[in-house]
């Protein structure tokens, strides 16, 4: 869906999954912490966590040249994809944090760093480069945050994102930007507060296919029953948040309908976004969508899905 939207002249996707917004260590954590009860150490921890996360995602790979050479050798000579090669090198070198995701590259590293630094300077009141000594030991450097109401820290986060995305929008001649971070769908409340005019397209997919996809990833254990449980928990979270935003800000689209009923589905998408239906449908592929992946993996997957998500799956047409 993100690629389809990006094919429209009015919309822009600088890079997939901006993991500095709703994920752990991102803007949501900053807003929740800095607008809550005063706690100097907690404020420091959330700012330090954000900076470390942002720094790690400047570039792909590792901060050690030899490890990047090993990474390149695995992809070139053993024909592994980047994620497979990265997992091997990271497990071989657990003490060296690497990055499997690099949004800094997408925005331009210099611009990305400048936006991060400007944001930091607006929300801290003091940086102690030599640190301070606390019950947790030496905290160096130590960041003292300003105090904010929820509205004022939301405004600072919005300014940060507006500045980050501005060059990409200008270069594309687009009016709006896109983010396709999967966890957006359980963070509607925060995102709607951050951008009240934002529109959400929630992609619905057969949970069996989602679970099968999860267990093939480096970031999830190879346990299908666990994957179904996680899917069920996420769907419950989504459904509990669904009414927290105006109905005209949310559109649900089944992945299967996007592939098999393309014209009808994209007509709905265009109307929802209030743009002409000028999407590049050559980007769609039933093979890339991996429809039915979960059904062919293990019959136990369907049993687990029926047990935990049967009512919802029948409502969506995935079970009879």
The pLDDT of residue 287: 73
Matching CATH number, 199-320, of 3.40.50.620, 3.40.50.300, 3.40.50.1980, 3.40.50.920? 3.40.50.300
The pLDDT of residue 140: 93
The pLDDT of residue 93: 95
Looking at the chain, the number of H-run helices and the number of E-run strands are 15, 8
d(CA 249, CA 245): 7
d(CA 279, CA 264): 13
pLDDT tens over the chain, length 320 residues: 999 999 999 999 999 999 999 999 999 999 999 998 999 999 999 999 999 999 999 999 999 999 999 999 999 999 899 989 999 999 999 999 999 899 999 999 999 999 999 999 999 999 999 999 998 899 999 999 999 999 999 999 999 999 999 999 999 999 999 999 999 999 999 999 999 999 999 999 999 889 888 888 888 998 888 999 999 999 999 999 999 899 999 999 999 999 999 999 999 999 999 999 999 999 987 777 667 655 555 677 888 888 999 999 999 998 87
309 touches 235 (CB < 8 A):
yes
Closest alpha carbon to 129 in 138, 142, 119: 142
HSE-up of residue 63 (Cα within 13 Å, Cβ side): 9
The pLDDT of residue 297: 55
d(CA 31, CA 300): 41
Query: 192-196, long-range: CB within 8 Å, 24+ apart, which pairs?
Result: 192/244, 192/245, 192/249, 193/150, 193/154, 194/21, 194/27, 194/31, 194/154, 194/157, 194/158, 194/161, 195/158
Structural domain boundaries in the chain: 65-98, 199-320
- The whole-model pTM stands at 0.91
Q: What is the enclosing helix (H) or strand (E) of 144?
A: strand 142-145
């Amino acid at each position: 869906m993100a690629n389809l939207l990006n094919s429209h002249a009015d919309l822009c996707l600088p890079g997939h999954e901006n993991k500095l917004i709703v994920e752990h260590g991102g803007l949501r954590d900053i807003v929740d912490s800095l607008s809550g009860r005063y706690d100097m150490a907690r404020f420091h921890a959330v700012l330090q966590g954000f900076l470390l996360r942002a720094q790690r995602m400047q570039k792909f790979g590792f901060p050690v040249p030899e490890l990047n050479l090993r990474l390149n050798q695995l992809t070139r000579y053993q024909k592994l994809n980047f994620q497979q090669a990265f997992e091997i090198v990271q497990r071989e070198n657990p003490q060296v944090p690497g990055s499997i995701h690099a949004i800094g590259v997408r925005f331009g590293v210099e611009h990305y760093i400048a936006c991060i630094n400007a944001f930091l300077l607006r929300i801290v009141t003091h940086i102690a480069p030599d640190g301070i000594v606390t019950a947790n030991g030496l905290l160096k450097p130590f960041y003292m945050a300003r105090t904010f109401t929820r509205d004022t820290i939301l405004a600072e986060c919005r300014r940060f994102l507006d500045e980050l995305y501005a060059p990409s929008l200008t270069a594309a001649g687009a009016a709006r930007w896109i983010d396709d971070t999967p966890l957006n769908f359980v963070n509607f409340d925060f995102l709607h507060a951050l951008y009240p005019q934002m529109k959400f397209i929630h992609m619905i997919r057969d949970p069996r296919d989602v679970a099968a996809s999860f267990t093939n990833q480096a970031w999830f254990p190879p346990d299908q029953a666990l994957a179904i449980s996680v899917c069920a928990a996420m769907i419950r979270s989504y459904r509990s948040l669904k009414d927290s935003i105006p109905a005209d800000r949310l559109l649900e689209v089944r992945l299967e309908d996007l592939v098999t009923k393309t014209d009808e589905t994209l007509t709905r998408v265009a109307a929802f976004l209030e743009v002409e239906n000028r999407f590049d449908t050559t980007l769609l592929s039933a093979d890339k969508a991996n429809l039915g992946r979960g059904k062919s993996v293990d019959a136990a997957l369907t049993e687990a899905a029926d047990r935990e998500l049967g009512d919802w799956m029948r409502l969506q047409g995935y079970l009879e």
